[in-house]
Structure 1
Amino acid sequence: MIGAIVANAVIIGINTFTLDGWVSGVLMRLDWIFVTIFVIELVVRFAADGLDPRRFFRSSWNTFDFLVVAVCFIPGVSTSATALRVIRLLRVSRLLRIMPDSRVLLRGLRRAAGPALSLAALTVLLCYLYAVVGWMAFRDHGNADIPGYFDNIGEAMLTMFELLTLEGWNQTLHDLRQVSPFAVPYVISFLLIGTYIVVNLVVGIVINSLDEAYKERDHERALEYMATGGERAGVEATINELRTVLDRLEAQLGTAVQADEPLIISGDGPDAVETTGAQNHQPSRNGSQLAAGETAAVELPRAEVADG
């Protein structure tokens, strides 16, 4: 599906050139082939959701893909070249759904939207205050060679926006200094507040929101693993326990062979495997049952160990 979307994007780029009539016809047929592929994809995903419309449209990505494909079949749209170009461009944006971590990025940007809008409002207020001060200080410069940076509130706000983007701020400062020495603290203070503080705060808000989105993603994955991986975790724990028992048994077998001692394997847990020396070896009780509290043991003579 990624290949189909990328190929569709390539065709959109080819359509920007001046082409012969037959080439345009071929590209139009290819475009409808891609539409057919996208329709089949939607049908398969709808069937995967159990043919349940509520479950299918619960995903915002499914809704977006459905609208992008469905618009192609609206009467009048297929005959409009501009509308078709817009629809084709929207198909390319479907790559966002397939790109890795795109959902996390969009979730982070959505988290940052609220604080960023509040900070944007403060930035507009700051520009307005500085624009009014600049209008009062620099409007009557009487120099035809200096542009009208502060002739009215509109020009003043545009000047503040240019300073905020650091576009030509040094030329603006040079021109305003010819009008008033107040230009130096005026421009520099606005640059420090507007650029190095406000803009960096926006960057910090976005980075913090993305960090929270990634943590939320990791938490969801952990919950999903705990919900679906409990049985697997139990099997892995059992395998690890058996490996521990086998490692201890191999080590004690080697020790018993080197020391010429019988090996006593007792108990039923990983910590119950132990090697006893000759002084701890006791003969059997002529077939009688072991006393209460004693551990059942299996004696492996040295000869049997060697044969093994």
Structure 2
Amino acid sequence: MPSVLMSVQQQLIRVNNSKVFQFLVIAVIIISALLIGAKTHRISENALAILLMLDVGVTIFFTIELSIRFLADPQKKQFFKNGWNIFDTIIVIGSLIPSGGTGILLARLLRVFRVLRLVSMIPELRILINALLKAIPRMGYIALLMFVIFYIYAAMGSMFFNRINEVLWGDVSISMLTLFRVATFEDWTDVMYETMAVYPMSWIFYLTFIFLTAFIFLNMMVGTVLEVMGQEHELYRAELHGESPEGAEPASRAQIEKLEHELAEIKALLVAKSTTTDVLKEPR
């Protein structure tokens, strides 16, 4: 009996690792997304019945696919320690909720989120999401500093430009919304020219604000995300090659010097052995 179970698990592992099976899962996820979009249109009762049948088929397929992944995992206890597996399980279980009655809204929302299963199926998308989640704490400090800059400039704008246009500079909160418009370059020149008619040197206010927010802080955020994304790519490459994350780190200077010393000793031994061989070969 144990040998039969091992044989079945080996078959499930081959199915789970099969490229055809993975492409099939991705295709069903795309079909599920199209079904959700089709239901938002005005369609006939017959077409709606067909869509409901297809939706049931998609739900059954996802249940079978998750079961295969769980049974193919040699360490069942570790399966639900993976965040992506927990996410897929919640989505699949949520899809089993009947779409009628009091749970109709929850069922529809979870069916919409089935599209996000593309992220768990495609490694490149997982790298992007993992990098974004890991970069959020670092980006939080940048966002906090940006908020301080926004607040300072909003207070200054409200004090100087309030009488020019109260709609845009009435108080600090409204001024921050106006500055967000300026930072996103949404007709910001109209705002600047309006205040320049009264304060000709007010362009300094806008240009310094744009330089700090759009050019410095936003680029700092992009740089943070790119740095974390590079680390995630290194981790993924190490996992593919069966290496530990530490194996991807560059060697230190001490390690390089130790390696050079060992190579010098090996070279000296080879030279000594070659000399001894030549002496023995000389005719007496």
TM-score, reference length from structure 2: 0.72
Q: Distance in 2 between matches of 1:70 and 1:218?
A: 32
Which residue is equivalent to 2:79? 56
2:206 is aligned with 1:187: yes
Which stretch of structure 1 is more off in the superposition, 215-224 or 169-178? 215-224
C-alpha deviations, 1:49-107, integer Å up to 9, x for none?
A: 2483x2221221111111111113346x5435433331221111101112242222222
User: Would you say the 8 A contact 2:26–2:121 is kept in 1?
Assistant: yes
Which stretch of structure 1 is more off in the superposition, 204-213 or 78-87? 78-87
Which residue is equivalent to 1:84? 107
Q: Distance in 2 between matches of 1:165 and 1:58?
A: 40
C-alpha deviations, 1:250-285, integer Å up to 9, x for none?
A: xxxxxxxxxxxxxxxxxxxxxxxxxxxxxxxxxxxx
C-alpha deviations, 1:228-251, integer Å up to 9, x for none?
A: xxxxxxxxxxxxxxxxxxxxxxxx
Which residue is equivalent to 2:127? 104
Alignment-mate amino acid for residue 156 of structure 1: S
Alignment-mate amino acid for residue 137 of structure 2: G
Match of 1:116 among 139, 163, 177: 139
Match of 1:7 among 3, 13, 31: 31
CA shift at 1:46, angstroms? 1.5
Which residue is equivalent to 2:268? none
2:192 is aligned with 1:204: no
Find the residue that maps to 1:140 and give its secondary structure: coil
User: Would you say the 8 A contact 1:138–1:179 is kept in 2?
Assistant: no
Number of matched residues?
A: 221
Alignment-mate amino acid for residue 211 of structure 2: L
Q: Which structure has more helix as a fraction of its residues?
A: 2
Which residue is equivalent to 2:67? 43
2:84 is aligned with 1:65: no
User: Would you say the 8 A contact 2:183–2:214 is kept in 1?
Assistant: yes
Q: Distance in 2 between matches of 1:152 and 1:109?
A: 34
Which stretch of structure 1 is more off in the superposition, 22-31 or 209-218? 209-218
Alignment-mate amino acid for residue 135 of structure 1: S
Give the direction of change, closer, same or farther, for the CA distance of 1:72–1:221 in structure 2 (3 Å limit).
Answer: closer
Which residues in structure 2 correspond to 1:264-303 (within 5 Å)? none
Which residue is equivalent to 1:163? 182
Which residue is equivalent to 2:235? 216
C-alpha deviations, 1:157-201, integer Å up to 9, x for none?
A: 101111111111111101111232242111111011111111111
Find the residue that maps to 2:42 and give its secondary structure: coil
Find the residue that maps to 1:136 and give its secondary structure: helix
CA shift at 1:209, angstroms? 1.3
Alignment-mate amino acid for residue 34 of structure 1: V
User: Would you say the 8 A contact 1:72–1:78 is kept in 2?
Assistant: no
Alignment-mate amino acid for residue 203 of structure 2: V
Give the direction of change, closer, same or farther, for the CA distance of 1:176–1:117 in structure 2 (3 Å limit).
Answer: same
C-alpha deviations, 1:123-157, integer Å up to 9, x for none?
A: 1110000000111111123xxxx462111112111
Find the residue that maps to 2:41 and give its secondary structure: coil
Q: Distance in 2 between matches of 1:218 and 1:50?
A: 22
CA shift at 1:12, angstroms? 1.1
TM-score, reference length from structure 1: 0.67
Which residue is equivalent to 2:49? 25
Which consecutive aligned stretches of 4+ in structure 1 deviate over 6 angstroms post-superposition?
A: none
Which residue is equivalent to 1:289? none
2:154 is aligned with 1:154: no
Structure showing greater Rg: 1
Which residue is equivalent to 1:233? none
Q: Distance in 1 between matches of 2:39 and 2:62?
A: 20
CA shift at 1:224, angstroms? 4.1
Which residues in structure 2 correspond to 1:245-260 (within 5 Å)? none
Provide structure 2 residue ranges, at least 5 long, that are not aligned to the other structure: 1-24, 245-279
Which residue is equivalent to 1:268? none
Alignment-mate amino acid for residue 113 of structure 2: L
CA shift at 1:38, angstroms? 0.6
Sequence identity, in percent?
28
Q: Distance in 1 between matches of 2:73 and 2:100?
A: 30
